[in-house]
Amino acid sequence: MHSPELLKGTLQTILLKVLKDNGKMYGYEITQRVKELSLGRILLTEGALYPALHKLEADGLLQTETVLMGKRVRKYYTITVTGKSLVKERVLEFREFIKTMSAVLQVQIA
């Protein structure tokens, strides 16, 4: 499992990318999807997830819709147009970052 310290800067990128690839998702679903993709090595904590989701929503990168499910209310997140354009940037940026890091740390990434 990766340390939360390493994840901190990439959380928004992860959320945006996951939502872009999978369309409509709700909070729990996102954590599960990330867990799946990372082969269980990234577990998003709720304490980090929801503040980040609400922040992205407030910034206009995500939009939400709520669905009543009996007693439960499920809130789905989808990415907005501005969000989509930002994802590309963020992912590119992250690739550059990895290159830099591999150069700095003198390690080859497969």
Partner 1 sequence: MPQLTTEHINYIIKDLHYRGLVYEPLQNELVDHICSSVESEMEQGKKFIEAYQEVLKSFGHTKGLRETQRQTIHSKNSIFKAMLKNYLTIALRNLRKQSFYSVINITGLAVGIASCLVIVLYIFNELSYDKYNTEADRIYRIDSEILFNGNHLQMVTASAPMGPAIKEEYPEVEQMTRIREEGTMLVKRSIDNIRETNVVYADSTVFNVFTIPLISGNPRTALVEPNTLVLSESTAAKLFPNNEDPIGQSLILDNKHNYKITGVYKDIPRESHFHFSMMLSMESYEDSKNDEWLSHNFVTFLLLRDGASAQELEAKFPKLIDIHVTPMLKQMLGPEVDMGAFLQAGNKLDYTLRPLLDIHLHSDLSAEFEPNSDITYVYLFGAVALFILLIACINFMNLSTARSANRAKEVGMRKVMGSLRLHLVNQFLMESILLSLLSFMIALFLAFLAMPFFNDLAGRQISIPWTSPLFILIVLALSVLIGIFAGTYPAFFLSAFRPINVLKGNMALGMKSGLIRSGLVVFQFAISIILIIGTFTVQQQLSYIQQKKIGFNKDQVIVIQDAYAMGDQLQSFKDEVLKNAAITNGSISGFLPVAGTSRNDNVYWPEGTDPSQNNMVSLQVWSVDQDYVSTLGMEIMEGRNFSLDFPSDSGAVIVNEAALKMFNFTEDPVGKKIATFGGGMGADGKPNTVSFEVIGSLKDFHFESLKQSITPVALFLRRSTSRISFRFEAGNTQDVIATIENTWNRMAPGQPFQYTFLDQAFGNMYDSEQRLGKIFAVFAGLAILIASLGLFALTSFTAEQRNKEIGIRKVLGASVSSIVMLLSKEFGKLIIVAFILSVPIAWYAVNWWLESYMYKVEVGVLVYLLAGLASFLIAWVTMGYQSMKAATSNPIDALRSE
Where along the sequence are the contacts to partner 1 (CB under 8 A)?
Answer: 26-29, 45-47, 50-52, 54-55, 58, 66, 69-75
Residue nearer to partner 1 on the CB measure, 59 or 96: 59
Residue nearer to partner 1 on the CB measure, 71 or 107: 71
In 1-110 the beta strands, taken as DSSP E runs, fall at 25-26, 62-69, 72-79
Provide the minimum distance between the beta carbon of 11 and partner 1 in the complex, in angstroms, as a whole number.
12
Residue nearer to partner 1 on the CB measure, 3 or 108: 3
CA dist list (Å): 105 to 7, 97, 98, 100, 101: 18, 12, 10, 8, 6
Provide the minimum distance between the beta carbon of 75 and partner 1 in the complex, in angstroms, as a whole number.
5
Provide the minimum distance between the beta carbon of 100 and partner 1 in the complex, in angstroms, as a whole number.
28
What is the distance between the alpha carbons of residues 14 and 62, in angstroms, rounded to a whole number?
13
Report the candidate in 4, 84, 85 with the shortest Cα–Cα distance to residue 48: 4
What is the distance between the alpha carbons of residues 76 and 4, in angstroms, rounded to a whole number?
25
Residue nearer to partner 1 on the CB measure, 66 or 85: 66
